[in-house]
Amino acid sequence: MRTTLLLTLAIALSKSISAQGWLPQGARSAALSHASVGLIDLFSFHHNPGALGFVMNGGAAVAYENRYLLRELQNQSFVVAQPLKTGVISVGGQFYGHEQFRTARLGGGYSMLLADNFSAGVQLNYMGLRLDPFYGVRHSLTAEFGMLLKVNKKLDVGFSILNLGRSRLTEFQDERFTTVMRLGAAYRISEHLNIVSELRKVLTHQVSLSGGMEYMPTDRLFIRLGAQGAPVEFSGGLGLRWERFMLDIGTNYHQVLGWTPSLNLLVHFQKPSNE
């Protein structure tokens, strides 16, 4: 049993470290198999800083995820975003791992509308990795860029790239923090149903395709389903909205490693106008 657990942990670590300092965040994203680069919400800070330019109501959010139900693979994150007279300013971070293996990402960004239907954003992040006793502790600064185009009233297309300069992790074999590129779309079939899709490329891995659907039977309830390939995972979750608050729960299922539950709480600084 112990051997099986250690083997499972090793597999999970090998997958997680491939993104070295970055993981998608939030239970809404998780329930949609992280096809979130085309979505507009506070967690766009972690998925596409360009989408934040369309955020009209500032707020704060925190999220927690327990990958494969292993204590060693805990993932916590936060974000605060506030619209200004021109543009949106944001700060956020994520913390992943436990004790000997730990990554951290902290940063700030600025996003703004460049046209009525187009927004772009930039972000500067501190990246840290602790992997004792092999790597010790490594630090670096990385940059992120994103943009979102509202093609029409139904279709949004987003693109983001993390670690533009491919910051170095260590001089040994010229290892670097991974560059991640994402291209995706969100399509509103009706006011009650959204479809999302995304192509994700971690520079050292093959392209991954993910997609999902978000159904809103009422103004306060959201039902979400998703799937992705390479590796194959399935996902689902719920969202509950009440005045300025949003509670999301989600889970991903890997056929070998098992379940990854997640949840987040979001609060807007002002009551949304559609409430």
For residue 246, pLDDT beyond 90 = yes
Residues 81-98 have a mean pLDDT of 95
For residue 135, pLDDT beyond 70 = no
Compute the mean pLDDT over every residue in the chain, rounded to the nearest whole number.
88
Q: What percent of the chain has pLDDT over 70?
A: 85
User: What residues does each domain of the chain span?
Assistant: 12-268
Among candidates 26, 117, 41, which has minimal Cα distance to 81? 41
pLDDT given at position 102: 87
Q: Torsion-angle region of residue 2: left (phi > 0), alpha (psi -120 to 50) or beta?
A: alpha
For the ranges 98-102, 179-183, 219-223, 234-238, the lowest mean pLDDT is seen at: 98-102
Is residue 166 very low, low, confident or very high in pLDDT (cuts 50, 70, 90)?
low
Cα(50)–Cα(120) distance, rounded to whole angstroms?
A: 4
Phi and psi of 174, rounded to 5°?
Answer: 55, 45
pLDDT higher at 158 or 256: 158
Residue 105 tokens, joined: 């990402």
Residues 221-242 have a mean pLDDT of 95
Is residue 182 very low, low, confident or very high in pLDDT (cuts 50, 70, 90)?
very high
pLDDT given at position 7: 41
Residue 65, Cα to own-chain centre: how many angstroms? 11
pLDDT higher at 224 or 12: 224
Sign, CA dihedral 53-55-56-57, equals negative
For residue 258, pLDDT beyond 90 = yes
Among candidates 238, 243, 233, 206, which has minimal Cα distance to 222? 238
Residues pairing with 160 in the sheet: 146, 182
pLDDT higher at 21 or 145: 145
Is residue 275 very low, low, confident or very high in pLDDT (cuts 50, 70, 90)?
very low
For residue 17, pLDDT beyond 60 = no
Looking at CATH, the fold of the domain delimited by 12-268 is given as: Porin (2.40.160)
Residue 101 CA: distances (Å) to CA of 9, 130, 179, 242: 12, 6, 20, 37
For residue 71, pLDDT beyond 60 = yes
Residue 268: other Cβ atoms inside 10 A = 20
For residue 9, pLDDT beyond 70 = no
For residue 149, pLDDT beyond 60 = yes
pLDDT, tens digit (0-9, with 9 covering 90-100), for 196-228: 999 999 877 889 999 999 999 999 999 999 999
